[in-house]
Amino acid sequence: MIQKIKIFTDGGARGNPGPAACGVIVKDEADKVIGRFSKYLGERTNNQAEYEGVILALTEAQQFGPSRLGQAEAGKIEIDFYLDSLLVVNQLKGSYKVKDAELQKLFVKIWNLSQKFKKITYTHVPRAMNALADRLVNDELDKN
């Protein structure tokens, strides 16, 4: 049986570029939070931090296999991503070209990691719907 998870990611930099972090909230199909991850990134742009949030999410999502989601394997998991960055969503969906060289490198990492999953969708949400992931970003920045 294919399992589905929802992932809310956010990234931010204080200054652009500046100290940056990303945050990830993973929910099961019943909207229960099953994972929280954050990472301090050092100096990045806002867009780089948003991309790094997706990379962190895809890396961590690999653990939501047999022990966390029943009998699913990573290759059978479907992921619905929710981000408040319209630019990053449209770039990951292929609607916009990725022109920035640094973002192109991150885009390739995401593409390679995404091959491990059954299906991935990217949806833009208002910032208010991404409050938990945003809080993780700010908590990480406050610590560093």
Q: What is the pLDDT averaged over residues 45-50? A: 98
Does the domain formed by 3-143 have CATH 3.40.50.1220? no
- Give this prediction's pTM: 0.93
Residue of 80, 79, 89 lying closest to 47 (CA atoms): 89
pLDDT of residue 65: 59
Residue 134, pLDDT > 50, answer yes
Residue 27, pLDDT > 90, answer yes
Phi-psi region of 5 (alpha: psi -120 to 50; beta: other; left: phi over 0): beta
Residue 71, pLDDT > 60, answer no
Q: Domain ranges for the chain, please list them.
A: 3-143
